[in-house]
Amino acid sequence: MFNDESVDAGYEKEWAYVEKLLKESGNDDFSGGKCRKYPFRSRYAHTRRVLTWLRRMLDDVGTVDVVAMEVAVIFHDVGYAKGKNHEHAVLSAEIFHEYSVANDFLPEKRELIEYLIKNHNNKELLVRGSKEELILLMEADIMDEEGAMRIAWDNMAAAVCGAKSFKESLERTEKYFNPDYNPMITPLARNFFQEKQEFVKEYIRRFKDDLGEC
Ligand SMILES: [Fe+2]
């Protein structure tokens, strides 16, 4: 039985299952903006980083089902393998359901994990009063590709999309960055996110300075 006592903290089997589905589907790389695909944006690599963020934020919470959250993270985006992006959360939950039945997950554990996966993309639930495990999963998911990684993404995307100057990559960062945005609920997540925001603000300020615009 798959439960808190028997779970392998490395989740090697679950990771291998998700990695195979995503990579063999041809849908592992994210699209975005004007470009159909960015080769540097791997959904599998994103999922790995989301688990890292989740673990960083666990210090901040009381009694939560850590195993359910971690397994939910591993499966939360696997539905993209089916190629229907708008339905990915439901498809991810379905893929997890099949996996969990085949691997003898405890029914109560399965139910919670399915709920988390199915709702991880519903931003209306990122509010105080929602299930704490869901809030943390959503926060960890949003945390990825922000801060330094947002800047790297913008610069690589600008190049992939044919930018001819440094200024064009800065313009892209300014276009997609909202300095007042901080959707996080839990205090530690709010702090992490705010640090990322401040970093991007400072990057923009210094970049403008380097271009002689200040
Ligand atoms: Fe995600």
Instruction: Supply φ then ψ for residue 35, to 5 degrees.
Output: -90, 140
Q: The tokens of 89 are what?
A: 């959360």
Residue pLDDT, tens place only, 52-110:
999 999 887 878 999 999 999 999 999 999 988 889 999 999 999 999 999 988 998 99
Residue pLDDT, tens place only, 20-37:
999 999 889 876 656 667
Q: Among residues 112, 141, 170, which one ends one of the domains?
A: 141
Does a structural domain hold residue 2?
Answer: no
Does a structural domain hold residue 58?
Answer: yes
Using an 8 Å Cβ cutoff, are 118 and 168 in contact? Answer: no
Average pLDDT of the residues in 142-170: 93
Q: Name the residue range of residue 190's domain.
A: 148-210
Does a structural domain hold residue 191?
Answer: yes
Structural domain total, the chain = 2
Instruction: Supply φ then ψ for residue 12, to 5 degrees.
Output: -55, -40
* Ligand 1 center to 135 CA (angstroms): 13
Does a structural domain hold residue 7?
Answer: no
Does a structural domain hold residue 52?
Answer: yes
Does a structural domain hold residue 128?
Answer: yes
pTM, two decimals, is 0.92
136 and 189 assigned to the same domain: no
* Ligand 1 center to 90 CA (angstroms): 13
* Ligand 1 center to 7 CA (angstroms): 23
